[in-house]
Amino acid sequence: MSENFAEMLEESIKQIHTGEVVDGTVIDVKEDQIVLNIGYKADGIISRSDYSSQLGIDLRDVVKVGDEMQAKVRKFNDGEGQVILSRKGLIAEQGSKKLEEAFENQTVLTAKVNQVMKGGLGVIIDETRIFIPASLVSDVFVKDLSVYMNKDVSFVITEYNPKKRRIIGDCKQLIVAVKEKLRRELLDRIKEGDTIEGTVKNVTDFGAFIDLGGVDGLLHISEMSWGRTENPKKMYKIGDSVKCFIKEINGEKIALSVKYPDLNPWNDVAVKYAIGNVVKGTVARMTDFGAFVQLEDGVDALLHVSQISKEHINKPSDVLSVGQEVEAKVVDMNEADKKISLSIKALLYDEKQDEEEDSENVEE
């Protein structure tokens, strides 16, 4: 009778096999071990390394007594009568099918970077490691990949070979696709004359490239100021915010300017610098035939060498220097050609004539 009861009891106890998936309930949790009641004569044990690929994880932070869990039997007798289980292996097996489908359908995946290597980034999805080469992390060169550590990245799987444990992710093509979409939307929306705001992306000797939100526009050195711009790098830095207007659109090339027409200093020169007016300015540059005097930003006038003094002068630098303030008389003004001629000599003659007239009045 007792033998029959023992046989019946043995038959009533769940039988398990290596590789089998079992359901269990957590009955104890330690820092590095989980104990499951799996309805078998022995409890199931999941070690930290069999639970997750995450290094240094404290199992007490992620699992509680009473939690339901599935795991795969790795060994049903470890010599102490315990059943060794693996949750990580089960998830990896199930996740492998998901990743294969994601590869075939080019599904966009998102995961947190948990490893930074010299050649790229490592992420884990469903306990399966995916490698993103440095060349596929971004559409631009990234010198220090460590900035991605613990950050979420989106990618598609471009190579899937689980047998060789080679699963390759690609972030770059997604970034390129988003930028292309933004570029098309922007080009469809903007037109010449529109005011737009952007961020300085690069500065060269001939101008600054402005990121308008998907499309780069060129702010040429000649469009940075109504006056002369000697060095764009002294005016703009990478990251600066710039408000400008679209001067020209030629296909996908966008020319920008900050020289708004209503602020053109030549708009009222006919009044301010009419012939006969006495003006003040600063010597901006000199040549052998004369000095160019800046009357205001964007308005230069020529002081010919013959008009600097009543005496003969070989070259302007004999009596003038760059940055020197001078007072002169406007002797010619051509608004159409944007040319103004000055004369200090004429002003000197006027002063002499005024003195002579004052002297005659005194004598009378």
Segment 336-355, tens digit of pLDDT? 888 999 999 888 876 656 55
- When pLDDT is cut at 50, 70 and 90, the band that residue 360 belongs to is low
Out of 89, 119, 149, a domain closes at 89
Instruction: Evaluate whether residue 49 is within a structural domain.
Output: yes
| β 44-47/241-250 pair status | unpaired
Note the pLDDT of residue 4. 54
CA distance 5 to 301: 118
Instruction: Evaluate whether residue 363 is within a structural domain.
Output: no
Whether 207 and 242 have beta carbons less than 8 Å apart is answered as: no
Average pLDDT over residues 210-232: 89
Q: Are residues 270 and 258 in the same domain?
A: no
Q: Which candidate, 262, 333, 346, 258, places its Cα nearest to that of 299?
A: 333
Instruction: Evaluate whether residue 181 is within a structural domain.
Output: no
Note the pLDDT of residue 126. 82
Query: Who's near 204: CB < 8 A, 6+ residues apart?
Result: 232
How many domains does the chain contain in total?
4
CA distance 93 to 128: 9
Average pLDDT over residues 223-244: 90
Average pLDDT score, the chain: 86
pLDDT in tens, 108-122: 999 999 899 989 999
Which residues on adjacent β-strands are paired with residue 327? 280
248: domain range? 191-262
Instruction: Evaluate whether residue 84 is within a structural domain.
Output: yes
Q: Does 318 have pLDDT greater than 60?
A: yes
Q: Residue 214 maps to which CATH number? A: 2.40.50.140
Q: Could you give the percent of the chain with pLDDT greater than 70?
A: 90
Q: Are residues 209 and 278 in the same domain?
A: no
Q: Does 289 have pLDDT greater than 80?
A: yes
For the four alpha carbons of 170, 175, 233 and 144, in that order, the dihedral sign comes to: negative
Out of 141, 175, 209, a domain closes at 175
Q: Are residues 299 and 346 in the same domain?
A: yes
Q: Does 5 have pLDDT greater than 60?
A: no
Note the pLDDT of residue 9. 44
Query: Who's near 214: CB < 8 A, 6+ residues apart?
Result: 179, 181, 182, 183, 184, 185, 186
pLDDT in tens, 119-177: 999 998 888 889 999 999 999 899 999 999 999 999 999 999 888 889 999 999 999 99
Average pLDDT over residues 89-108: 85
Whether 56 and 14 have beta carbons less than 8 Å apart is answered as: no
pLDDT in tens, 44-70: 888 888 888 777 788 888 889 999 988
CA angle at residue 351 from 346 to 353, to 5 degrees?
95
Q: Are residues 299 and 347 in the same domain?
A: yes
CA distance 325 to 202: 36
Q: Could you give the percent of the chain with pLDDT greater than 90?
A: 49
Note the pLDDT of residue 1. 44
pLDDT in tens, 166-218: 999 999 999 999 988 988 888 888 999 999 999 999 999 999 999 998 789 99
Out of 235, 262, 289, a domain closes at 262
- When pLDDT is cut at 50, 70 and 90, the band that residue 357 belongs to is low
Helix, strand, or coil here: 260?
Answer: coil
- When pLDDT is cut at 50, 70 and 90, the band that residue 267 belongs to is confident
- When pLDDT is cut at 50, 70 and 90, the band that residue 325 belongs to is very high
Instruction: Evaluate whether residue 183 is within a structural domain.
Output: no
Average pLDDT over residues 219-241: 90
Note the pLDDT of residue 352. 59
Q: Are residues 74 and 115 in the same domain?
A: no
Q: Are residues 247 and 270 in the same domain?
A: no
- When pLDDT is cut at 50, 70 and 90, the band that residue 301 belongs to is very high
Note the pLDDT of residue 38. 87
Q: Are residues 257 and 276 in the same domain?
A: no
Instruction: Evaluate whether residue 1 is within a structural domain.
Output: no
| β 299-304/339-343 pair status | parallel
Note the pLDDT of residue 327. 93
Instruction: Evaluate whether residue 296 is within a structural domain.
Output: yes
Q: In 260-283, which positions are buried (b, 16+ CB within 10 angstroms) versus exposed (e)?
A: eeeeeeeeebeebbeeeeebebeb
Q: Are residues 249 and 230 in the same domain?
A: yes
Instruction: Evaluate whether residue 204 is within a structural domain.
Output: yes
Q: Which candidate, 65, 32, 66, 63, places its Cα nearest to that of 50?
A: 32
CA distance 76 to 87: 15
Q: Are residues 294 and 341 in the same domain?
A: yes
